[in-house]
């Protein structure tokens, strides 16, 4: 029971890590990035390739994450630039279609070129005991990565002036512009940050289980579910929703099986959009 709960929390932290990037980019750029999961896959596959080429594991992981960030930069500076020219609904639709196209293109390319590459990271010490329960070391490391990243994100948004600029744009684009905040560069910065976080989530997936080239769409969907349940513009909400759904995911998979679990998660997301558009926890976050 306790071990299931710990697994749930760890899974939830990973989900939050994946979804927060999506939330940030949506809140700031007004683009729902359907290629988000593919960025996680890019990081994981690059890391796996580098490890295969003899690079040591931490460095390969770091490079993988940086490659995801660079891909984010390229995406933002090329295609998203066209989407940013529009406002409101038109931008949303254009962003959705463009990132769907990018997602398909990346998935097709990776499946064609590296069909058998997978990332599985193992550590020298296999298990540690936590609260009297045996937990895999890799899962602990993945959870630590997620916690540290999310904590630094919070500090960044609360304390630094760039973080405050980010929050001001989320609240009111025009107001931020009037205060002299350069939206375009902050937007690019956040797109890179979100991509880096997706990359970290990909590495974390390689730690807890295994990551292969076919998982991009699944990552995007999970991020989308968590982000909608958390309220697509709220970062705290996304974090809470991630942990909640992680626990639900692990318990439901254990008791009722994977298919039904996925249906439960998707239905939760659908109903949240219909019944509480500001997020399941929208009122107190």
Partner 1 sequence: MINKRSWPDYGALLIVCLILALIPLATGGSPYYLRLATLMLVYMTYAVAFNIIFGHTKQLFLCMGALAGCSGYLSVVLIRELGLPPGVTMPLGVLFASSLGAVFSYASVRRGLGVIFVGVITIAFTLVFHNLILGLRVLTSGEDGIVTRGLGFGVLEHRLASYYILLAILLLSLLLYHFLISSRIGLAFRALNDNELTAELAGIDVTRYKVLAAFIGSALFGIAGAFYAQYNGFISPDIFSFVSVDTPVFIMVLLGGMGTLLGPIIGAGVFTIVNELVRPLGYLNLLVYGVFLIVLFLLFREGLVVTLRKMVKLHIP
Contacts to partner 1 by CB under 8 A? 32, 79, 82, 89, 92-94, 96-98, 100-109, 111-112, 115, 221, 224-225, 228, 257, 259-260, 262-263, 266-267, 269-270, 273-274, 277
User: How near is the Cβ of 168 to partner 1 at its closest, in Å?
Assistant: 23
Nearest approach, Cβ of 140 to partner 1 (angstroms)?
31
Which one, 2 or 260, has the nearer CB to partner 1?
A: 260
Q: What is the sign, positive or negative, of the torsion defined by CA atoms of 189, 195, 199, 200? A: positive
Residue with Cβ nearer partner 1 (74 or 155): 74
Q: What's the min distance (Å) between Cβ of 55 and partner 1?
A: 27
CB 150 within 8 A of CB 21: no
CA distance 4 to 246: 11
Shortest reach from residue 224's CB to partner 1, in Å: 6
Compute the distance between CA of residue 199 and CA of residue 108 in angstroms, rounded to an integer: 19
Listed in sequence order, the DSSP H helices in the chain are: 2-29, 36-52, 57-75, 81-84, 88-113, 137-159, 161-171, 173-178, 183-208, 216-230, 235-256, 258-275
Q: Which tokens sit at 146?
A: 């997620």
104 vs 209, beta carbon nearer partner 1: 104
Q: Looking at beta carbons only, is 103 or 195 nearer to partner 1?
A: 103
Q: Is the Cβ of residue 31 or residue 150 nearer to partner 1 in the bound state?
A: 31
- The span from the CA of 231 to the CA of 220, in Å, is 16
CB 138, min distance to partner 1, A:
28
């Amino acid at each position: 029971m306790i071990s299931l709960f710990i697994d749930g929390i760890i899974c939830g932290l990973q989900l939050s890590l994946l979804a927060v990037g999506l939330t940030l980019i949506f809140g700031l750029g007004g683009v729902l990035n359907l290629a988000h999961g593919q960025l996680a896959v890019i990081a994981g596959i690059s890391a796996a390739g580098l490890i295969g080429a003899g690079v040591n594991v931490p460095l390969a992981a770091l490079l993988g994450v940086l490659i995801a960030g660079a891909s984010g930069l390229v995406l933002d500076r090329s295609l998203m630039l066209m989407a940013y020219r529009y406002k409101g609904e038109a931008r949303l639709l254009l962003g959705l279609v463009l990132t769907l196209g990018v997602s398909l293109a990346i998935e097709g390319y990776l499946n064609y070129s590296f069909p058998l590459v997978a990332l599985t990271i193992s550590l020298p010490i296999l298990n540690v005991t936590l609260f009297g329960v045996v937990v895999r070391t890799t899962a602990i490391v993945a959870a630590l990565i997620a916690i540290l990243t999310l904590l630094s994100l919070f500090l960044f948004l609360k304390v630094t002036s760039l973080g405050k600029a980010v929050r001001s744009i989320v609240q009111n684009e025009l107001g931020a512009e009037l205060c002299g905040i350069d939206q375009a560069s902050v937007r690019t910065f956040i797109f890179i940050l979100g991509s880096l976080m997706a990359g970290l989530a990909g590495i974390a997936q390689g730690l807890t289980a295994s990551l292969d080239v076919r998982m991009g769409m699944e990552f995007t969907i999970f991020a989308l579910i968590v982000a909608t349940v958390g309220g697509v513009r709220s970062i705290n909400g996304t974090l809470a929703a991630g942990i909640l759904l992680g626990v639900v995911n692990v318990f439901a998979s254990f008791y009722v099986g994977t298919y039904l679990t996925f249906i439960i998660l998707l239905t939760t997301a659908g109903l949240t959009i219909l019944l509480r558009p500001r997020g399941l926890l929208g009122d107190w976050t």
